Amino acid sequence: METSASVQSNLSSFNFFNFDFTTPQSTLDADLVRQLSFVPGLKEILMLRQVHALEHATVWVLSETKNAHTPPGRPNTIQLDNELLGGLSTDQGFYLYGEVNISNLRRAVSQALYRLTHGEWDLAVHPRCGTNLSVTMLLTAGLAVGVNLLLPFRPVEQLIGLGLAATTAAEIAPDIGSIAQRYLTTAIPFNLTVENITVNRDVWGRQGHFIKVKWREPNS
């Protein structure tokens, strides 16, 4: 028969291994760069993921400022999107497209970085991200191929199957796209600091504000 002391001991042992692997770790990317420094392009990829998250968060913060519904510094329950704003991330920083006051942009970037690194991780995910479009295309193509192989090779059945494939992909793509953003294409920018903000043109000649960032080691 187990005593209460032994039961408590077993519970303590169990809780020791009850880690939350989905919680962002502030030193993870820096540790990867140190331990896998021989991998070419690794730091740039990790930096791009962090910049991508900061881009999304900046758009959210600017949208909040425009709509003036969410007080700064409080977790979002309803996120309001300003569809006139867009962005493009690089491993050196990100472009922000749309009409925005430079002073408001500076405040938004600073606030976005602070909020992301202090627990508001949902700001890293954005519904208009290109990741969602890529996921939609992949799902549609995959389901279409599956339907083509499973259904009889008659025009009516194939057309119905393609319609179902496209509808199913459109329904599930936003959720899968959000998961892909959260765990693959973005990362919390624990290692970024903002250097400057300038008006610049991207590789396609589009004008926008460029938010230049640099890598920062933890506790530096």
Give the number of other CB atoms < 10 A from CB of residue 123: 25
Distance CA 211, CA 95 (A): 6
Read off the pLDDT of each residue in 167-194 and give the average, rounded to a whole number.
Answer: 94
Q: Which of 61, 180, 52, 192 is nearest to 120 (CA)?
A: 61
pLDDT in tens, 31-66: 999 999 899 999 999 999 999 999 999 999 999 876
pLDDT band at 4 (very low <50, low <70, confident <90, very high): very low
Give the pLDDT score at 218. 77
Cα 171 to Cα 165: distance, rounded to the nearest angstrom? 10
List phi, psi (to 5°) of 86. Answer: -145, 170
- Residues 137, 91 contacting (CB under 8 angstroms): no
Q: Look up residue 169 and give its two tokens.
A: 């992909």
Q: What is the pTM of this model?
A: 0.81
What pLDDT, on a 0 to 100 scale, did the predictor assign at position 196? 95
| 217: CB partners within 8 A, 6+ apart | 30, 191
Percent of the chain with pLDDT over 70: 83
Strand partners, 201: 207
User: Once rounded to an integer, what is the mean pLDDT over residues 142-160?
Assistant: 83
Confidence of residue 87 (pLDDT cuts 50, 70, 90): very high
Q: Is the pLDDT of residue 133 over 60?
A: yes
Q: How far is CA 195 from CA 58, 60, 115, 213, in A?
A: 15, 21, 18, 5
